[in-house]
Amino acid sequence: MTTLSLRRTLVSAAVCGALSLLATNASADLSARYTDHDGDMVADVPQDAAEWVNPDTLVFAYTPVEDPAVYAEVWADFLDHLSEATGKNVQFFPVQSNAAQQEALRAGRLHIAGFNTGGVPVAVNCGGFRPFAMMAADDGSYGYEMEIITYPGSGIEAIEDLAGRQLAFTSETSNSGFRAPSALLSSEYGMQAGEDFEPAFSGSHDNSILGVINKDYDAAAIANSVATRMLARGVIDEGDYEVIYTSDTFPTTGYGLAHNLDPELADKIQEAFFSYDWEGTPLEAEFANSGEAQFIPITYADQWSVVRTIADATDVTYDCD
């Protein structure tokens, strides 16, 4: 079957226009626990130095994956670099779910993290997360696409064929694993979960991909960067699944800090990200598979604008308090 690659706007122009004012309201979604005096849409660093934290051990967590132990090794060299740059011990925290990662941030047990695309707004608004970096290619380009995949011979060749079938999402906080496909199916095809197709939640992109390949799910919405890395590691093979939809490009995992870190320490952490030499490292070996070769500076206001618009279009609210 020929792969059908459809490039469509995930939210209709009418919806985007109606919601543009919401997307520009800098503090509309931020929890009342935080302030945003400078209007950059993220929590301010506390003005009172007594509220700053400067722990002996910094805790880092990468967005949940099927086998966190694999990524502990991938990040080990970078965390050694981070330890040297800050003079602190740095511990890798192998989170098992998006909810666990978010809760660790809110509880003050997590200091540095990479949150998945859809999880960044939750972390920003509910946990005081201050994103500052993202992975990019050598030329500065970045991002991934949401794909809807199925297994060969499923009988699903187009979005319309999902009617009456099961579609796996990852979690409700995921951009490519839930919000973007939900907006697409609703605005472009008039399809609603529970009415036109049966939704399922796998917990991660890895699980969704393997679930489709093993025919546990008829189809799944995934981030293609995850699939690319799984192919490169030999976890899956070309031809194991087929793509029926490919979206426009989204920002990838956002890296950032807890808002209440000592500013001097926060500066050292950020400098460590941008000074890290990827050449010959496990980080390069893993993420070169999806075309990434460096950390670049980003802002939540700019790079996450399209993600906020999709969240608005799908009536996402942040019940943080």
CATH number belonging to the domain at 15-141+251-313, selected among 3.40.50.170, 3.80.10.10, 1.10.3720.10, 3.40.190.10: 3.40.190.10
The per-residue pLDDT for 320 is 83
Q: In 10 A of CB 312, how many CB atoms?
A: 22
User: Which residue is associated with the tokens 């942040």?
Assistant: 318
Instruction: Give the CATH class of 144-250.
Output: alpha beta
C-alpha count within 13 angstroms, C-beta hemisphere, residue 180: 30
| CA quadruple 206, 208, 209, 213: dihedral, nearest 10 | 130
Give the span between the Cα atoms of 44 and 33, in whole angstroms: 11
Domain 15-141+251-313 shares a fold with domain 144-250:
yes
Backbone φ and ψ for 167, nearest 5 degrees, come out as: -120, 125
User: Which residue is associated with the tokens 């608004």?
Assistant: 125
Give the span between the Cα atoms of 234 and 247, in whole angstroms: 25
255 near 105, Cβ under 8 Å? Answer: no
Long-range CB contacts (< 8 A, 24+ apart) of 74-77?
Answer: 74/282, 74/283, 74/285, 74/286, 75/282, 75/283, 76/282, 77/281, 77/282, 77/283
Give the span between the Cα atoms of 133 and 281, in whole angstroms: 19
Give the span between the Cα atoms of 252 and 192, in whole angstroms: 26
Long-range CB contacts (< 8 A, 24+ apart) of 285-289?
Answer: 285/74, 286/71, 286/74, 286/229, 287/135, 287/229, 289/228, 289/229, 289/231, 289/232, 289/233
Look up the pTM and report it: 0.79
The per-residue pLDDT for 270 is 98
Give the span between the Cα atoms of 173 and 98, in whole angstroms: 8
Mean pLDDT per block of 10 residues along the chain (321 residues) reads: 35 33 53 95 97 98 83 96 98 92 97 95 97 97 95 98 98 92 92 97 96 98 94 95 94 97 98 98 92 96 90 81 69
Q: In 10 A of CB 128, how many CB atoms?
A: 25
83 near 90, Cβ under 8 Å? Answer: yes
Which residue type is seen at 305?
S
89 near 83, Cβ under 8 Å? Answer: yes
The per-residue pLDDT for 145 is 94
Give the span between the Cα atoms of 18 and 190, in whole angstroms: 19
The residue length of the chain stands at 321
Sketch the domain layout of the chain as residue ranges. Answer: 15-141+251-313, 144-250
The per-residue pLDDT for 27 is 52
The per-residue pLDDT for 315 is 81
